Structure 1
Amino acid sequence: MANEPIDDIIGWSVGQAAWRQDCLRRLATTDELAEDDLDELLAIIKAEAGLAVAEAPPAPVPFAKEHFGGSKQAPITLKGIANVEGVNRLADKASLNFCPDALTIVYGRNGSGKSGFVRILRTACRTRIENTTTLKVLADVYGSGDGVQSADIIVDAGAGDEAISWAAGMPAAPQLMQVSVFDTASAQLYVDSGNQIRFLPFGLALLHRLNAVCLELKRKLEAEQAIAAGNKIQLSAVMFSPVRDTAAQRFAASVNAKTTDEQIEEAAKFTEANDARIDEIGTLLSSGSTAKTDLATFLSWVAAVAGECGEALTSLSDEALDALTVLRDKAIAARDIAKLAAGDLFDDEPLKGVGSESWRQLWVAARDFSVAEAYPGQDFPVTGAEDDPAACVLCQQPLLPEGAERMKRFRDYMEDALDKAASVAEQALVEAKLALPALAKLRADDFTERLEQVRSRDASLADTLLAFQKAASERIEDAAARLDGSERKVVSELVSPLTGMQTLAAKLTADKEALAAAEDTEGRDRLAVEKAALEDLKVLAANKAKLVTHRDLMLLNTAYAKAIASVATTGITKRANELIDTHLTTAVVTRFEKERNEFDIGHLKINLTRKSGQTVAAFQTDPGTTLTKVASQILSEGEQRALALAGFLTEVALTDGSGAIIVDDPVSSLDRDRSARVAARIAREAKERQVVVFTHDIVFFNELCQAADAVGIEPVTIAVFSDGDAAGKVDPAGMAWKGLNVAKRIGYIKNKSASLPKLRATSPADYEFEVKGLYGRLRDAYERVVEEVIFSDIVRRGSDVIQTQMLRYVTLPDDLAIRFHDGMTKANTHSHDNPASDTVMVPKPDEFEADLKALEVLVADFKQAKNAVEAARPGMKPKR
């Protein structure tokens, strides 16, 4: 379709033109058009504009209350990361599994690979970071660096586990945009740039979604407009060359959506008389001196070409070409005879080839050297006397009698009639080639231009002349090939154009004489104006259908313009901003204040304000001073981290459809008091949504575990580590020992002691080593019981928080104290280095099992004793 003329692509059929024009005019000016007429009109417009005619759209349904469903999107669950390839130093196929409904804590020391996993998540999920350099994920810069960084993000959207492929630099998957990531790089943005509520609650999002729909409609309408009308309006305009002020050009420029068919018909009337008048005026105007000179030049060219044609007809005829072949054959035969004679004469000579072309050239060169330089004035060859031989001009040795005789025989041969006849025949070939016609005019660069002048007067003659020129050129090449003895060319027949050329020359002569007689130039300007007007009218008449197309496209373009104007978003945007300011701004500011108080930074003069002129729900931090525009220049690093966490939690709390949150190193630069506050806040958030925390701080890890326990959730803990080969390896043993509470320590010891019976039966020495280590772990557990169970975590190691309200749960009955002392003593005994005299027997597996069970029962009895004491107090309920 792109190669078809514009008239064929967008032209209108004559039978429907009036109806279509009427429909378009009503649509563009009044919007009053019957539905059937509109449907048919649009179908015709699309078909003739090259657009696919789609099926009729479904009938629109008015909004009803049931269309405005729930206010929350169903969040996805982040199940883990798998099949990591090429990311930092992370091990190939590294993976992490996350708790699907509460809290996951990933612990690892510096350089253990936590940041690699976080970098994957922040590029795959939602983050405030937009800088592509910051988001760039590197390979192992100390390794090969080859390959693509990739991984699978495992999610569950309600239909089971689904692996979403991730690769560095690819756009984030829509599902993962519900997952929010907080890390050090994004923290700076929350401090200085504020918040962006990217997914509004459903009610507030409606107008923004309507805005998006209108923008999409506008985009599609503009795209359709560009295809159906667009630059086709310009393409359908009638083009004139040259551009000048004539009635036809003025009318073409004035055509618009309101131009009628009658006006176009009247303006584009052109008759045969008008066409004849153009030719008549052209003849009159061409009578100027330049025209006469051009005509004389052209006439001279025609005469010269006619002469060349006559010459070619003679010298390039079939007979003439055959004669050249005969001439070549004669020369070859004469030379062959001369060679035979040479062969008979010189068969006994030492060297073969006497009489050949190369030998003859040698003889001529030797003769020229002898006459000109060696022996000037003496006939060649100079042989000298018997007692005084001459020197040979080639070897410069004295010519002995035999050599002198040979040179005389050579001379006699070269002067022989046969050789002379062959030379004459060969010279005739040279002269015949030089005599081939040059056809200077027929083969000149301006031949094509001159041919068009012939064509303008006699198209048939121009075709004949072009064919003659082609055939003559072929025959010249064939003639040269015949004379050279090279491969001959296929030639075309010579069809004589002489009669036509002579007729044209006679007519040109008559025109030249007529122009010379027309010396009166009065009124030439008036004639030129008249001729220009008629020429442009002829162009306008030839493009009458194009004028109709142009008018109809302008009508269609006007209709599209009205439709595009109807989806303008200015009013929608204004109302959307009003609703956000009314219903969301207060909620954001209030929530932000609440989150700040959670981290004990409510005293800071940093506030949130709505960004002006925004079409999205964006809020900026206000540092509360004119001395700076960024809060990071005012706050300490710890205050910045606390403020960033407050902003992050505000954003995810008010964002519709937020799923899991990923928090990396949340307590960087925080003091221990705020660290505990962050742990408590994250634990409460984990009651509402899935939370994954990455940390290297073992104290914060314990605080977070205790905070989770306080709100009734059991966190899933993961320990990652690195070695000389790679990072991001998951410790199968679980969390580091010092990060485990009493219950998990007892569970760990149980798992490790299960193999003791078998080990004792196979290697007593290995058994003794293993059981001694387990008694050491048992002793550690007893020590943790003091902190966690007996003193109810009132004072924790590594934390300066003292929970004095827990004092009322502290109780130490004598029997429990004795049992604690006995158990601790036995653990110490069997974990310390004992005398070599073997006075302390190694406990058997069942004895160790009993000692472990004793600690487990002791912990349960302590809790029961605490509850009994609490229950004995008036109005108190036991602590669960």
Structure 2
Amino acid sequence: MLAHWANDNDEWVRLLVSEVIVTGRPVGATTIEKAYQVFRQEKALDKRELPTVAKLIFEAQLDESAPPLAVTRLSEVHGVNALIAGAVIEPHEGLTILYGENGTGKTGYSRIFKALANSRTADTILGNVETDPAEGQTAKVEFKLGDDEQSLTWTGERGVSPFTRMSIFDSPAVTTHVDDDLDYVYTPASLALFNHVTAAIQAVTAQIDAAIGTLSAGSSGLISRFQRGSRIYPLIEALGASTDLADLKAKAVTDGDADQKLDVLTQAVGALRANTMGTQIAALRAEQRVLTQAVAAAEALLAFDATAYNETLVRRAELTVDHETFRSELFAAADLPADPDDSWSNFIEAGEKHRQHLVELEAHDSNRCLYCRQPLLDPARVLIARYSIYLEDKISADIRATDTIMAGFKRQITNIKNSELVAFIGEYSAEEEKPTHFSQVVAIEGASSALATAVAEAKPASLTISAVVTNPNADVEAALATVGANISTLETLQQNRAQVLEEKQAELLESKAAVELGKSWPLIEAQVKSAKEADQLKTLKRPLPSQGRAVTELAKTASDQLINQSFDVLFLEECEALRARPLKLQFVGREGRAQRRKVMSGRHKPSKVLSEGEQKVLALADFLAEARLAGITAPVIFDDPVSSLDHRRINEVAQRIARLADDNQVIVFTHDILFATTLLGLFEKSKRCVYFQVTDEDGKGKVTRATGPRWDTLSGIRGKINTTIEAAKQQDGEARDALVRVGYGWLRSWCEVFTETELFQGVTQRYQPNVGMTRLQNVNTDKLGDIIPKVTEVFEEACRYIDGHSQPLVTLGVSPTLAGLEQRWAELRELKKLNEDKS
């Protein structure tokens, strides 16, 4: 099928298919590269140099079967859950049963097999989480592969050949086998060829994608050679398969003197870009600020009336003297504690304000003192009258008027700004070459500072201010006018320079781009060619996905012939054997993989309809059909396969597993005693069976070989009896009595187990549906007459003392003794020894 399909396709496809069919393995990197080269040459992307790939001629072949695998021993287990060291499991070539109650350690051993097989439900294996969960996982696995005996030291790996051929079923696998779309574990070698072909086509497609990516990337440094803003830049930015090379090449400059012309243009732009006029304008503006402030200061100084200021200052001094004289004379006879001064004046003014306040409130009493509220005597009235005269004095009013005038002079001086003047003087004072108007600025600033100091200190102002400032002011005003004119002229020139610079820069940008276009033309031409080739590859790639789908359809047809039709028959056989409800199977395939799906009524998942037990037997049928599909050549392992099943189905599953073990190695982990005993009964004649009991008596995972499962063991009951006797020795009174009664209960159980397993050798057992007649000959009949009466006597005495039996009134008050319990225990041990003596 593959050869016929390949012959109808391109040569590069035939090359890949031929390699897959001949080798039976995935195609190597060398062949992938060769197929890609054939593809390029076949599609005329490259010159044809490789020979033509001939048509394929192949004959169908049968798949080879693998040699049988059998596990012979599992030992030296460490770091797996809490399993104790030293356990050994030696599976039978037929059926191996590992029985144990929940939590005894069976799961740890099954997890090792799942990891080796890399089963669908294999999970992470932990160490003993209560001690050292990080302990390394190891186990020794001995096995036979065909006739070759080998061993493997397992260290926690998953999927170790040849154990990947093992088939494993457990409870988590039920959902997988019932509802999921499953890939077949077994894939015939010829069916695997389709996957290899699909992978090879995808690899060549990846080569094409890589080539498209490389070709589409272009020259990484090409765009950086051109400056954004030129008319050529967007053409380079958009280089691709649609680029008109002839039109683009017409824009290139390749003259011999192109570089020289660029140098001349570059120098011109550099000169224009230097912008010396901008520096001159900035300096003139700084000078303009200084001159403007100097003119303002000079005008303020000229506007200042120094004569009026000095006269007001003199008048203020005269008024102060007159006011002090008037005050002293007015209160000379007032017997004041000290000469009147400013603080005393403040005192008088405060009293007047308080008096006016009381008048407004209509609460003033002119006959009482404002301060002490005592009646006023005549001397006091005279003093108060003088206070009024003092407050109404015209001299004080004149002083206040004079102070107002002085405040106006101060504001006039304070408003003069000289920060620019001070900075200007500080900048050039130490320089030898000073600006032409430096002395004028110094004169104005000096006059301003001197006047400000005089006014601040209330001293007379110089009457020569006008003479000092007039000429400098005229010079500064003239300089200010000149600076303004110069600034206007330079700004006009600068605007023209900016326009010329803009024109020259644009010319330089386009010239550079045109020259670079000529220099980079080989790279540009190559990039456009690569873009055109990338477009061709994209066009040629479009049919490739359909080829992948064609291989998938071939694989579905082949898998239907090689797998699905056979699986359908096997699945129906298993459903019938297990009494499982037969369902409709759908076979699906994706990317060359064969899969199966189970549905009910055309669309419902089985888990939505079937009971838990029905789902389990359906999963078992699916599992067994899959295991048989390729012919079972490796162990089949069942981990608790009958949970949720009733007794009838347990029997049917046991019979099916027994038939499977007639010709194959089967390992069963179970905690179901009925299932275990049923399996043992089915192998009683053939003896193709071995039974191991897994307990946690001395630690989880203790494995012992036995003849069948036990509810109770003599060794287990023996330990409980000994423990109870030792505990009773440590107590007195009612506590000891209670422990002795417990001990007799254990004696009673020991008698039952001894009779069932030792005395009558398991001929009849409580959990088996049949009588083991073959074991009857193992009964030691010679000793029965001596043993049975004594065992019966101890059993009846134990029944009298345990709480489980109602006692008559006469015996209720009789308590058992510890000595009696020890004596009876010793007697039973002797009876066991007697029964074991076959002489």
TM-score normalized by the length of structure 1: 0.49
Deviation at 1:115, TM superposition (A): 0.9
Question: 2:700 is matched with which residue?
Answer: 727
How many residues align structurally? 520
Q: Counterpart of 2:89 in 1: which secondary structure? A: strand
Q: 1:173 to 1:549 in 2, by over 3 A?
A: farther
Q: 1:526-565 residue pairs with structure 2 within 5 A? A: 528-544=505-521, 546-547=523-524, 550=527
1:720-761 CA distance string (max 9 Å, x none): 22125x211221x53446599xxxxxxxxxxxxxxxxxxxxx
Question: Which of residues 777, 780, 785 in structure 2 aligns to 1:829?
Answer: 785
Deviation at 1:105, TM superposition (A): 1.7
Q: 1:36-55 residue pairs with structure 2 within 5 A? A: none
Q: Determine whether 1:716 maps to 2:690.
A: yes
Q: Counterpart of 2:80 in 1: which secondary structure? A: coil
Deviation at 1:595, TM superposition (A): 1.3
Q: 1:75 to 1:549 in 2, by over 3 A?
A: farther
Question: 2:574 is matched with which residue?
Answer: 595
Output the CA distance in 1 between the equivalents of 2:690 and 2:256. Answer: 96
Output the CA distance in 1 between the equivalents of 2:591 and 2:549. Answer: 12
Q: Determine whether 1:274 maps to 2:258.
A: yes
Q: Counterpart of 1:720 in 2: which secondary structure? A: strand
Contact 1:153 1:164 (8 Å CA) reproduced: yes
1:178-213 CA distance string (max 9 Å, x none): 222211111222223254313323343332332234
Q: Determine whether 1:123 maps to 2:102.
A: no
Deviation at 1:113, TM superposition (A): 0.6
Output the CA distance in 2 between the equivalents of 1:723 and 1:555. Answer: 79
Q: 1:128-277 residue pairs with structure 2 within 5 A? A: 128-129=120-121, 135-158=123-146, 159-163=148-152, 165-167=154-156, 171-193=158-180, 195-219=182-206, 229=214, 233=218, 235=220, 237-244=222-229, 246-247=231-232, 250=235, 253-254=238-239, 256=241, 270-277=254-261
Q: Counterpart of 2:706 in 1: which secondary structure? A: coil
Question: Which of residues 760, 785, 800 in structure 2 aligns to 1:780?
Answer: 760
Question: 2:634 is matched with which residue?
Answer: 659
Deviation at 1:663, TM superposition (A): 0.8
Question: 1:341 is matched with which residue?
Answer: none
Output the CA distance in 1 between the equivalents of 2:38 and 2:597. Answer: 50
Deviation at 1:845, TM superposition (A): 10
Q: 1:152 to 1:630 in 2, by over 3 A?
A: farther
Contact 2:239 2:527 (8 Å CA) reproduced: no
Q: Counterpart of 2:172 in 1: which secondary structure? A: helix
1:361-409 CA distance string (max 9 Å, x none): xxxxxxxxxxxxxxxxxxxxxxxxxxxxxxxxxxxxxxxxxxxxxxxxx
Q: 1:695 to 1:536 in 2, by over 3 A?
A: same
Deviation at 1:138, TM superposition (A): 2.9
Q: Determine whether 1:622 maps to 2:575.
A: no
Output the CA distance in 2 between the equivalents of 1:634 and 1:801. Answer: 36
Deviation at 1:571, TM superposition (A): 1.4
Output the CA distance in 2 between the equivalents of 1:243 and 1:194. Answer: 58
Output the CA distance in 1 between the equivalents of 2:164 and 2:755. Answer: 49
Q: Which runs of 5+ in 2 are unaligned?
A: 1-36, 285-489, 713-751, 794-823
Question: 1:756 is matched with which residue?
Answer: none
Q: 1:674 to 1:153 in 2, by over 3 A?
A: same
Output the CA distance in 2 between the equivalents of 1:248 and 1:295. Answer: 34
Amino acid at match of 2:59: K
Q: Counterpart of 1:198 in 2: which secondary structure? A: coil
Q: Which runs of 5+ in 1 are unaligned?
A: 1-22, 39-58, 301-512, 741-771, 788-795, 804-809, 811-815, 851-880
Output the CA distance in 2 between the equivalents of 1:659 and 1:118. Answer: 16
Q: 1:518 to 1:824 in 2, by over 3 A?
A: closer
Q: 1:58-73 residue pairs with structure 2 within 5 A? A: 64-65=58-59, 68-73=61-66
Deviation at 1:645, TM superposition (A): 0.9
Question: Which of residues 675, 692, 695 in structure 2 aligns to 1:700?
Answer: 675
Output the CA distance in 1 between the equivalents of 2:87 and 2:613. Answer: 33
Output the CA distance in 1 between the equivalents of 2:121 and 2:707. Answer: 31
1:99-148 CA distance string (max 9 Å, x none): 3x432221222222101112233233243338xxxx23333333343434
Amino acid at match of 2:101: R
Question: 1:767 is matched with which residue?
Answer: none
Contact 1:105 1:695 (8 Å CA) reproduced: yes
Q: 1:215 to 1:98 in 2, by over 3 A?
A: farther
Contact 1:190 1:647 (8 Å CA) reproduced: yes
1:828-860 CA distance string (max 9 Å, x none): 225435599x9xx9999999657xxxxxxxxxx
Deviation at 1:623, TM superposition (A): 3.4
Output the CA distance in 2 between the equivalents of 1:679 and 1:530. Answer: 97
Q: 1:105 to 1:847 in 2, by over 3 A?
A: closer
Amino acid at match of 2:701: G
1:210-258 CA distance string (max 9 Å, x none): 22343345456766887xx368645365434544463476267435599
1:303-343 CA distance string (max 9 Å, x none): xxxxxxxxxxxxxxxxxxxxxxxxxxxxxxxxxxxxxxxxx
Q: Counterpart of 1:254 in 2: which secondary structure? A: coil
Deviation at 1:292, TM superposition (A): 4.7
Q: Counterpart of 1:70 in 2: which secondary structure? A: coil
TM-score normalized by the length of structure 2: 0.51
1:625-648 CA distance string (max 9 Å, x none): 86xx44334322222221121121
Output the CA distance in 2 between the equivalents of 1:677 and 1:161. Answer: 36
Question: 2:41 is matched with which residue?
Answer: 27
1:165-188 CA distance string (max 9 Å, x none): 342xx5533543322221111122
Output the CA distance in 2 between the equivalents of 1:275 and 1:298. Answer: 37
Q: Determine whether 1:670 maps to 2:658.
A: no
Q: Counterpart of 1:121 in 2: which secondary structure? A: helix
Q: 1:679 to 1:295 in 2, by over 3 A?
A: farther
Question: 1:681 is matched with which residue?
Answer: 656
Q: Counterpart of 1:693 in 2: which secondary structure? A: strand
Q: 1:215 to 1:671 in 2, by over 3 A?
A: same
Output the CA distance in 2 between the equivalents of 1:846 and 1:129. Answer: 48
Output the CA distance in 2 between the equivalents of 1:245 and 1:109. Answer: 86
Q: Could you tell me the percent identity over the aligned residues?
A: 20
Q: 1:846 to 1:198 in 2, by over 3 A?
A: closer
Output the CA distance in 1 between the equivalents of 2:38 and 2:231. Answer: 30
Amino acid at match of 1:729: K
Q: Counterpart of 2:585 in 1: which secondary structure? A: strand
Amino acid at match of 2:585: L
Q: 1:233 to 1:34 in 2, by over 3 A?
A: same
Deviation at 1:84, TM superposition (A): 2.7
Contact 2:680 2:689 (8 Å CA) reproduced: yes
Amino acid at match of 2:573: K
| Structure 1 range deviating more: 181-190 or 90-99 | 90-99
1:570-613 CA distance string (max 9 Å, x none): 211122123334553343333222211111123x6x44323476
Contact 1:195 1:619 (8 Å CA) reproduced: yes
1:534-555 CA distance string (max 9 Å, x none): 2223434444554466467658
Amino acid at match of 1:115: T
Question: 2:556 is matched with which residue?
Answer: 577
Question: 2:402 is matched with which residue?
Answer: none
Deviation at 1:673, TM superposition (A): 1.7
Q: 1:329-344 residue pairs with structure 2 within 5 A? A: none
Contact 1:73 1:657 (8 Å CA) reproduced: no
Deviation at 1:283, TM superposition (A): 4.5
Q: Counterpart of 1:97 in 2: which secondary structure? A: coil
Question: Which of residues 615, 634, 649 in structure 2 aligns to 1:640?
Answer: 615
